[in-house]
Amino acid sequence: MIVGIVGLGLIGGSLAKAYKRDSSVTVLGWNRTPSVTEFALLDGAIDAELTPDRLCECDLVLISLYPRATMDYLRDNADRFSKTGIVMDCDGVKREVCEYAFPLAAEHGFTFVGGHPMAGTQFSGFKYARATLYDRAPMVIVPPVFDDPDFLARIKALLKPAGFGRISVTTAADHDRMIAFTSQMAHVVSNAYIKSPAAADHKGFSAGSYKDLTRVAWLNAPMWSELILDNRDNMLSEMDALIGSLTAYRDAIAANDYDTLCALLEEGKRRKEEIDG
């Protein structure tokens, strides 16, 4: 199998290293900064550079760029992809990319599948890439068709060397609705929380709770800004819900209302138990 990786940052670099663990896989890679591609070659994460003329050789092309750069890459190389291979993006939002890519793929005769590897760290760049990042991690895919089990089995087989655990199949709309809650809101809340005036004096007073809540405040601002704005309707809905909940807690505290505050906290604890068992 020949796998092409477009973009060798944390996500793409980790995919390259994961596939390289399988001796039967040839990994080709490209990054817009040539020095990163050269370093990936020296590091052994890729076997050769993924040049435009080699796209037709790839059984699987994984595009790990920002959403708009992904769409630009798809447009610029639409006639170069293999007609028998699979092209998959790795973006954190799916509606805009899939709405653009599905008709483009149909027009030019290649197969596109939306994808979102559900793993990462607060750091970015190839230097943080690791082969084990996706081991047992969830992978979400948005296929062009949902009623072809053989096609879905083929996708799962192509992704297997990366080490993913559960592979979920969904629509672009459902993906973006859920990801606003599970990922994007967590990053915004963490990033806003760390702006407290008290944060500068936290050392000696903070432990697990602080670390858990602030880990993803350290983020790639340009990337997350693009992802969040591409999903702004879902994000606004989640933010309104959170602001409403916080207002209820604030009102109870301001009124020195023990019973209401206790009930709110118990409700949140019970909700956690119901959701996560």
* H/E segment holding residue 48: strand 48-49
pLDDT value for 172: 98
pTM of the entire predicted model: 0.91
**CB-side neighbour CA atoms (13 Å) of 90:** 27
Tell me the C-alpha to C-alpha distance, in Å, between residue 67 and each of 3, 47, 91, 220, 277.
Answer: 20, 26, 6, 14, 35
The domain 2-170 is placed in CATH, from the list 3.20.20.80, 3.40.50.720, 3.30.750.200, 3.40.50.1820, at 3.40.50.720
- pLDDT mean for each 10 residues of the chain (277 residues): 97 98 97 96 97 98 97 98 98 97 98 95 88 96 95 96 95 98 96 94 88 92 95 98 98 98 98 92
- Could you tell me the residue ranges of all domains in the chain? 2-170, 175-276
Predicted local confidence at residue 207, as pLDDT: 87
pLDDT of residue 262: 98
- pLDDT of 86 reads 98
Query: Residue 123: what pLDDT?
Result: 80
Q: What is the pLDDT of residue 233?
A: 98
The architecture in CATH of the region 175-276 reads Orthogonal Bundle (1.10)
What span, in angstroms and rounded, lies between the C-alpha atoms of 76 and 92? 21
